[in-house]
Amino acid sequence: MPALDLSKLFKPKSVAIIGASTRDTAAGWRVTRNLKVGGFKGGIYPINPRYEEVLGLRCYPNLTALPEKPEAVFIGIPAEQVAGVLEEVAQAGIKAVVVNASGFADGGPEGIARQRVIEKIAADHGIAICGPNNTGFVNLVDETLIATWPKLPNLKRGSVAAVTQSGSVAIALAQEEFDLGLAYVITAGNEAVCGVAEYLDYLVRDPRVKVVALYVETIRNPVLFAKAALEAARRGVRIVALKVGATEQGMAAVSAHTGALAGDDKVYDAYFRRLGVVRVNGLDELAEAARLFSFYPDPPRTPHVVPLTFSGGQAGVIADIGSQIGLSMPQYAPETLAKIKPAFPVFATPRNPLDAWGLGWDAQRFTDMVQALADDASIGTVAFAVDMPHLGGADTFIVEDMLPVAKTVAPKTGAKIVWINNMTGGGYYKTMLDQIKEAGFPYLRGMSAALSVLQKWTNYEAPGARPAVPPLPASVAKAGALSEPERFKLMRDAGVPMCACTSVATRVEAIDAAKRAGFPVVLKATAPNLPHKTELDLIRLNLKDADAVGAAFDDLSKTFKAVPNVGQAAAIVVQPMAGPGVELIVGVRNDPRFGSAIAVGLGGTFVEILREARVEIGPVTAAEARKMLEATRAGTILKGVRGKGPYDIDAAAEAIAALSRFGASATGTLSAVEINPLIVLEKGKGAVGVDVLLEPVKPA
């Protein structure tokens, strides 16, 4: 289907409402009302042969009776009737439709078939469909509200666009209490035609949008989503996303909701990181991240934060939460400490987070304290954590003095100032909140959510240039038939260090090969279709002399004969025994939609026990590969523990980067490449792979 022009959907000059009604519970009545109340400037045409008038507007019997061809149509009728009406819309040459009924892909086999029908009509006629199974959309910047919301909140126009696969989440985010400043709120529903990727691609090109907040159950078009996300980064538009379906229960709920598949959560994590999409946890974080990035699109000068509060107890809570989520809160430089210490009793040592009560509230002491923190170039953010409930009280009287200080200090420093309301249950004192916002400062709600989004914001990285992908060796086309030595050579040619590997056909050849390799050695019975040699008892380790090699060859030969369907490339190979080290698993999984994912974690016997790996979308640089290792238990072990190590983490990172480049070049040819284990030797001695699996893409 060619690219669709969504401007007819979101900025139509006229709208027809098929299924308009005089009942205020009907979707058609609500859409008509919302268009009128929302200030839509174009023609609004209710359609229903049963009525002559709806909400003071003339009601027409059908499309052909309208005085003009509408640019967009809302279809508010039961699912089983939609296809017939959509065909009429298509014949009229209308290219933008909203379908809100459920009972399509969310409604079992019959609903899935029903959705396929409308998808085909749309594809045949180039129609952009929003929905089905959704509540439409709100475009505040163009005053177009084709939404079935029963009650319109007091929507405030701003620069945040929300796209959600849940209608309820959309309505929640639009409430006055969140005060996000919205440009668009779009509910995607089942995404029969247009989905999150298409909406994102449209929104990031609207200069009035600065932040896009996503509630995502699945991404049906990852290629377009990636293109749109990179365009967003180029334009300085930030994307924050709540992706659900991380657990089996969550995946089941996603499937039941919109008929979507949630997918591998670690791949989504990696995919978002690669694209500069900030992933959040929970609806509160989604709202607060959107708020923070709308005020400060770029991260602060450093990731170091000083949360400043007026309670030792709250400082302790902040310290615990911040430490758990990785918020950088270092202690002060000596010169900074010297500047702030006069505001505290002589027996007190100010720490980070800072209980700023000190010698008691005093506006001048507070000014000196904040100025000292902001003047420290190592501090990127000063966060004022206060309690300002909606009726006033608590810290409100202090906040009235704090705001002029913030307004005075902020222009003179590179540090960012952020406000946090510690608790959410008491609401917010609106008068001061509005003043803080007008002064250009974000006011975040709830300590946990606020600190979490601070951590993500302070560590934000826009997507960077990717390493070049090398040409794919011709031999990869025959990966399913390559012998073990040929597979090892393929990896070495790609820059991945592998141990020597020699095929042997007789007992004598095995002993000769072992002597050349140097004892001790390993004998393995291999075949391209045998990924799990250990389970089949096809490996003999630590063979220290010729007699042991000969006996092992005889034993393996007998065992090998009992394995069915080993294929023509079956052989017994001799490898030198790798030295002691840390065993890693390094694997590539190629997905034609999401790209080439590289996974790293502890390998060998730890794989099934820990099930821990760091996943990124490749190819990665050696520096990125090192960060991957440091994000797992492997990184801790490689640095050295209990008298063992340190190990050659630099060599491991280079090997991982090389495999990621090879894997990315093999997208479309290989579905998987896995080295398990990659043995990382002591520092300075390198790393070596001792087993490799190549899995060709299966024919469609």
Q: Is 246 helix (H, G, I), strand (E, B) or coil?
A: coil
Per-position DSSP letters for 632-689, written without gaps between them: SHHHHHHT-BTTB--B-HHHHHHHHHHHHHHHHHTTTTEEEEEEEEEEE-BTTS-EEE
What radius of gyration, in Å, describes the C-alpha atoms of the chain? 31
Q: What is the pLDDT of residues 139-179, one digit of tens each?
A: 999 999 999 999 998 888 999 999 999 989 999 999 888 88
In angstroms, rounded to a whole number, what is the distance separating the alpha carbons of residues 621 and 618?
Answer: 9
Residue type, 291: R
Contact 384, 426 (CB under 8 A): no
* Res 252: pLDDT: 43
Q: What is the CATH number of domain 582-696?
A: 3.30.470.20
Identify the pLDDT of residue 532.
66
User: How many angstroms separate the CA atoms of 186 and 174, rounded?
Assistant: 11
Q: Are 599 and 607 in contact (CB under 8 A)?
A: no
Q: Which ranges of the chain have pLDDT less than 50?
A: 249-262, 605-606, 609-610
Structure tokens at 98: 């909203």
CB–CB of 205/229 below 8 Å?
no
Give the domain 298-458 fold: Rossmann fold (3.40.50)
Neighbours of 614 (CB within 10 A): 21
Q: What is the pLDDT of residue 256?
A: 41
Query: Residue 121 in contact with residue 127, Cβ under 8 Å?
Result: yes
Instruction: Kindly indicate whether the domain formed by 153-297 is annotated with CATH number 3.40.50.261.
Output: yes
> Per the structure block, which two tokens stand in for 358?
């000190």
Contact between residue 459 and residue 299 where contact means Cβ atoms under 8 Å apart: yes
Contact (CB, 8 A) for 578 and 604? no
The residue to which tokens 């006996």 are assigned = 551
The span from the CA of 541 to the CA of 605, in Å, is 15
For the domain 501-576, what is the CATH code? 3.30.1490.20
Contacts 24+ apart (CB under 8 A), 533-542: 533/691, 536/563, 538/563, 541/577, 542/577
Q: What is residue 237's predicted lDDT score, i.e. its pLDDT?
A: 98
Domain boundaries, the chain: 1-133, 153-297, 298-458, 501-576, 582-696
Cβ burial, residue 520 (10 Å; 0-12/13-18/19+): middle
Burial zone of 551 (CB within 10 Å; 0-12 exposed, 13-18 middle, 19+ buried): middle
Sign of CA dihedral 108, 109, 114, 120: positive
Q: What's the pLDDT score for residue 569? A: 64
Tokens 């749309």 correspond to what residue? 122
Angle between helices 507-517 and 546-561 (to 10 degrees): 130
End-to-end CA distance of the chain: 21
**Phi, psi for 9 (deg, rounded to 5):** -75, -50
In tens, the pLDDT along 594-618 reads 999 999 998 864 455 446 789 999 9
Which H helix or E strand runs over 162? strand 157-164
CATH number of 1-133: 3.40.50.720
Beta pairing, strands 305-309 & 238-243: unpaired
b/e code 216-240 from CB counts within 10 Å (16+ = b) = bbbbbbbebbbbbbbebbeeebbbb
Domains 153-297 and 298-458 fall in the same CATH topology: yes
Is residue 232 within 8 Å of residue 239, measured between CB atoms?
yes
Distance (Å, whole) CA 283 – CA 280: 8
* Cα distance between residue 376 and residue 371, in whole Å: 9
- CA gap 394, 605 in Å, rounded: 56
